[in-house]
Structure 1
Amino acid sequence: MPHDQQRTRIQRKNRQAILEAALDVFSQYGFRGATLDQIAQSAGLSKPNLLYYFPTKEAIHSALLSGLLGHWTAPLRSMNPDGDPVEEILTYVRRKLEMSREYPRESRLFANEVLQGAPHIGEMIQTEMKTLVDEKAAVIADWADQGRIPPLHPYHLIFSIWAMTQHYADFDTQVRATLGGADQDPFPEAETYLTTLFTRLLNP
């Protein structure tokens, strides 16, 4: 392998290691509690080596969040206006719950950012995310106007889906402890419960 290609491959590997370590540290301690030393140690790199790739803690945090927002909104973006309203909404519920199961660190990273007032992604929330939510809320309102689902406040329906699905990631320790221990898997029963709950809401 040519030297330049090898160096590029190592750089990609190190950058990914830093972002993966930062995801662990930020999701556990939040932005304010996390340190570059913690991230470097978790990544298996020296602090000067880390600073070669990211000059500040803010730069690492921003890189994580900018990639996360698109990933986080993908299930809502996939809601099809031409599909069956009940199935489209139930699919969204299931996909959000699946993301809480598969990406708990990302969920906690996002939650910590919002709890701090969204200092790093506030603009994206107010523009890209709001535009998407406005678009899908209008779709839900149209379905209600057509009598295909009951009259529901579309924004609060979306908020309730966020609250009920992301809770399983953001409060994972509490959920598992309440159910009987860290080895308890809440997701199969959670999917059954939420599917039943929203099915009844949408088919009164």
Structure 2
Amino acid sequence: MARTQDEIRQTNVKKILLAAEQLFAEKGYAGASMGEIAQLADLPKSNVHYYFSTKKALYQEVLLALLEIWKQDALCFELYDDPRVVLSTYIRAKMTHSRYRAHGSKIWAAEVMQGAPILKERLRDNLYEWAKLKESKIREWVESGQINPVEPSYLLYMIWASTQHYADFDYQIYLLNDDKPLDDLQFEKAVQSVTSVILRGIGLTA
């Protein structure tokens, strides 16, 4: 059965975004070209320009797609009320994406470290309100005595820093792990360690 135009579009856009994510991470926004992205995606350059008229538009879409993925990681804040369940689930999701989508985390870090020159307004609108909702949930836990007093934003920053480290500094981890990526057992221990330190810090058992 022949694929529909919508299915073809979805497939091509996904290939382009993944290729762009890798090249923007490896070469930076300025260093990556639309031609290289097309080559990595195994598509004609004209196809890339058909879906994304400029490199800036493609870069913005990569960042916004990553933001949506990370928002999905935090759905546990809406699905559960137990802080132990919410935070354990969130940390594992963040760690998993750091392991399998390291390129995306590096692009995000590079953009933010430069003051978000490409995504500033979209980031302000998308990230600010989303983060405030998560902070509100943490504040409820503090006020109800479910966790030790903590500034909600600082707890989020700590989670982001400790989980995204495994993506942004993956080469350092590789180097210190005898020139090997973490295997499944090591990764599981890393998840458990991050989870334990954060939960115990706010008065919960891991």
Instruction: Please classify the TM superposition score into its range, dividing by the shorter chain length.
Output: 0.7 to 0.9
- What residue in structure 2 maps to residue 111 of structure 1? 109
| 8 A Cα contact 2:173 2:181, kept in partner | no
- Structure 1 stretch displaced more, 184-193 or 80-89: 80-89
- What residue in structure 2 maps to residue 193 of structure 1? 193
Count of paired positions: 202
SS at match of 1:83: coil
- What residue in structure 1 maps to residue 22 of structure 2? 24
- What residue in structure 2 maps to residue 70 of structure 1? 68
What is the TM-score when the length of structure 1 is the normalising length? 0.86
1:169-194 deviations in whole A, cap 9, x for unaligned?
11111111112112433422211211
Q: Is the radius of gyration larger for structure 1 or structure 2?
A: 1
| 8 A Cα contact 2:148 2:203, kept in partner | yes
Structure 1 pair 119/180, CA: closer, same or farther in 2 (3 Å)?
same
| 8 A Cα contact 1:90 1:198, kept in partner | no
CA distance in 1, matches of 2:149, 2:163: 22
- What residue in structure 1 maps to residue 43 of structure 2? 45
**Structure 1 segments of 4+ aligned residues over 4 angstroms from their partners:** 5-12
CA distance in 1, matches of 2:199, 2:135: 18
- Structure 1 stretch displaced more, 45-54 or 133-142: 45-54
Structure 1 pair 104/52, CA: closer, same or farther in 2 (3 Å)?
same
Given candidates 153, 158, 161, the residue that maps to 1:160 is: 158
CA distance in 1, matches of 2:79, 2:58: 36
C-alpha displacement at 1:153, in angstroms? 0.9
What is the TM-score when the length of structure 2 is the normalising length? 0.86
Runs (5+) with no aligned partner, structure 2: none
CA distance in 2, matches of 1:132, 1:167: 22
Structure 1 pair 158/6, CA: closer, same or farther in 2 (3 Å)?
closer
- What residue in structure 2 maps to residue 102 of structure 1? 100
Runs (5+) with no aligned partner, structure 1: none
| 8 A Cα contact 2:98 2:167, kept in partner | yes
Given candidates 28, 31, 34, the residue that maps to 2:32 is: 34
Given candidates 126, 129, 132, the residue that maps to 1:128 is: 126
SS at match of 1:79: helix
Structure 1 pair 195/109, CA: closer, same or farther in 2 (3 Å)?
same
CA distance in 2, matches of 1:15, 1:77: 25
| 8 A Cα contact 1:31 1:113, kept in partner | no
CA RMSD of aligned residues (A): 2.3
Structure 1 pair 179/64, CA: closer, same or farther in 2 (3 Å)?
same
SS at match of 2:74: helix
CA distance in 2, matches of 1:100, 1:92: 12
| 8 A Cα contact 2:73 2:93, kept in partner | yes
C-alpha displacement at 1:7, in angstroms? 5.9
Percent identity reads: 35
The one-letter amino acid of 1:92's match is Y
SS at match of 1:58: helix
The one-letter amino acid of 2:123's match is I
The one-letter amino acid of 2:118's match is H
Q: How does 1:47-62 map to 2 (within 5 A)?
A: 47-62=45-60
1:110-140 deviations in whole A, cap 9, x for unaligned?
2222122212322232122111111111221
